[in-house]
Amino acid sequence: MKKNLFMILLGLAVIFLQTWLFPNILPFRLKPDLFLIIVVYIGIYAEFHRGAAFSLLFGWFQDVFAGNAMGLFGLVFLIIYFMVRYGAARFNAEALGTFYYLVFFGTLVEAFLVCFFQTFFTEAGMLWYVVIQGLFPQLLLNMLFAFLFLRVLVLLQWTTDGIVPVPGRSFRD
């Protein structure tokens, strides 16, 4: 129960960061995709059902504040979550490189899926052009924030006596 509440509050905090803080402090009003980074993380470490449920919920949170089609990011994040789980079962998921690789790969998949669903299901106009234009800065930002996310996790690992798993570090490093 506590874990679930924490995740919901985390989702709301991410919304605040994405919609208010980052556009105000980052140049060109760019923002990283924190929800994607979290989905990749829970894809590696969370229990199967809980991870799927929160990927869907975080996607819907993103939908409330992004674009004009409710359910798009819910579907996209759920697909990414299953892909990460599939990949994590085949690679050394706890290696640091794998996490960065999955965030990088996840960003590309997200961009492709958003374009795909919007183009095939709605009147998306030139969305692919907007996505391609912003893809490189988005990749850079996501990698940078994945690095910062891991720093925060390391701090959490210290304060929680090693309960929080961090890619690239054993539980009680």
Partner 1 sequence: MLDWLRKFRKAIIVVVLLLSALLFYSINLRDREKTTLFEKVVLEISSPFEMAFDYSVESVMDWWRHYVWLVSTAEKNRLLEEENRQLRAALLEMDEIRQSNERLRKLLEFQEKTALAALPARVIAEDSSNWFRSIVVDKGSSDGIREGMPVVAAEGIVGRIIRSSPHVSRVLLITDASSALATLSQNNRARGVCRGQGGFLTMEFTLRQKDIKVGDRIVTSGTGGVFPKGVPVGSVVRVGRKSYGLFQSVTVVPAVDFFSLEEVLVLRGEEK
Neighbours of 161 (CB within 10 A): 9
Q: Is 40 in the site for partner 1 (CB under 8 A)?
A: no
Cβ closer to partner 1: 123 or 161? 123
Q: Is 122 in the site for partner 1 (CB under 8 A)?
A: yes
Distance CA(153)–CA(94), nearest Å, equals: 14
Query: Which H or E element spans position 147?
Result: helix 127-159
Q: Is 105 in the site for partner 1 (CB under 8 A)?
A: no
Sign of CA dihedral 140, 11, 24, 117: positive
Q: Given candidates 4, 6, 20, 92, which one binds partner 1 under the rule CB under 8 A?
A: 20
Least distance CB 96 / partner 1 (angstroms): 26
- In the range 53-82, which residues lie near partner 1 by CB under 8 A? 56, 59-75, 78-79, 82
Region of 93 (left: φ > 0; alpha: ψ -120 to 50; beta: rest) is alpha
Q: Is 116 in the site for partner 1 (CB under 8 A)?
A: no
Distance CA(88)–CA(8), nearest Å, equals: 24
Q: Is 43 exposed, middle or buried (0-12, 13-18, 19+ CB in 10 A)?
A: buried
Q: Is 113 in the site for partner 1 (CB under 8 A)?
A: no
Cβ closer to partner 1: 98 or 118? 118
Distance CA(47)–CA(67), nearest Å, equals: 30
Residue numbers at the binding site for partner 1 (CB under 8 A)? 12, 15-16, 18-21, 23-24, 29-31, 33, 35, 48-49, 52, 56, 59-75, 78-79, 82, 111, 114, 117-118, 121-127, 129-131, 133-134, 137-138
